[in-house]
Amino acid sequence: MAQPPLPLHQDPAAIAALADRVCDGTAATPAELRALLDVQPGSAAADALFAGAQRIRSRFVGMKLKACSVINVKAGNCSENCSYCAQASDSEADNYRKSKWLPAEDIQRAAETSAENGAQAVSLVAAWWGVKEGTQLDMVTASIRQFSQNGKVRPDVNLGILESQKCADEIAKAGAKVYGHNLETASSHFGSICSTHSWDERMKTIQYIKKAGMGLCSGGIFGMGETRDQRVEFLQQVAFIAPDMVPLNFLNPLQGTKLAHLKPMDADEALTTLAVCRYALPDRNLMVAGGKEVVLGDRVGEVFKTGINCVMVGNYLTSAGTDPAFWSTAAAQYGLEMPTGCTTVASC
């Protein structure tokens, strides 16, 4: 009697066939993505999952890694209450330096260091609700205008929610090439991690960014208590907005934040999730960003087996990152090439 077929998450041949299908341009279904999240670490199915993710990466985005960096231009005392964030209004975390909007010389110096570390783009990030028309928009655009003349790294920004289309248009006109604005998590989960603004406000800002003609950098954070179904929901929502770059973060449960009680995500689960991101978003730039060191420890170099093609280098907003030199060695083990120099690219 014929054996019943194995479920997808236990069937290496079916996973390999799915990867081939994605390479041929047919999207994985939500049910297939959900099944892949259940692949057991260390199994033949896991080997097929990672091999497939690497084939999809090579087919759609190539083997050259990209590197990005962030500068916190206004740190701490945020009005918002995102429960994962050390800078939130109700956070008691004190492990980072708070600052008002940084002076131009400091921004310039940070851009130079990032370029030396191999970053092609640097994003100015501010901890606040977002940008409103008037004096705040004027201050922000003046700073971007100055930063965009640095000639070493592409000037990006990550300035929160935009009040209007005019704000997006003015920021684009000042020279910002890419606007970073994460969806953070599935719309069905957002209400449980933040109550001072809504997921819909985030989505509206993304529409303004796209209409203004800026590139979009938008992803989220895994390990904030969302279910695996919600991870698939989130990936579908990211696919819908089609960002140029998708930062994939893992919760670093910092003391003093509301999510401090959560455990960092299991390392194998994190690597499986990154691989599934490649099946869900085959032709997008996928960047592994914050929390990877905490979740993966000395296995952090394994991120390159999952199909990601970009790393965030240098330090993160409120915690330290890995030495950039480490990434070139780790990437080379998986046949990937780090960018050399600081060539500014037109789009991530």
Write out the residues near ligand SF4 by the rule CB under 6 A: 78, 80, 82, 85, 87-88, 127, 160
Q: How far is the CB of 304 from ligand SF4 (least distance, A)?
A: 27
Closer to ligand SF4 by CB, 312 or 338: give it.
312
Q: How far is the CB of 90 from ligand SF4 (least distance, A)?
A: 9
Residue found by looking up tokens 């970073």 in the block: 180
Closer to ligand SF4 by CB, 48 or 127: give it.
127
162 beta partners: 131
Q: How far is the CB of 180 from ligand SF4 (least distance, A)?
A: 11
Q: Which structure tokens are listed for 343?
A: 């060539």
Instruction: Report CA-CA distances (Å) from 333 to 96, 98, 141, 336.
Output: 34, 38, 42, 7
Q: How far is the CB of 80 from ligand SF4 (least distance, A)?
A: 4
For residues 247 and 236, what is the distance between their CA atoms, to the nearest angstrom?
A: 15
User: 15 and 52 in contact (C-beta within 8 Å)?
Assistant: yes
The radius of gyration of the chain's CA atoms, rounded to the nearest angstrom, is 20
For residues 75 and 9, what is the distance between their CA atoms, to the nearest angstrom?
A: 43
Closer to ligand SF4 by CB, 28 or 193: give it.
193
* Burial label, 148 (beta-carbon count in 10 A; 0-12, 13-18, 19+): middle
Q: Which structure tokens are listed for 287?
A: 């960047």
Closer to ligand SF4 by CB, 65 or 126: give it.
126
For residues 249 and 246, what is the distance between their CA atoms, to the nearest angstrom?
A: 10
Q: How far is the CB of 85 from ligand SF4 (least distance, A)?
A: 3
Closer to ligand SF4 by CB, 107 or 159: give it.
159
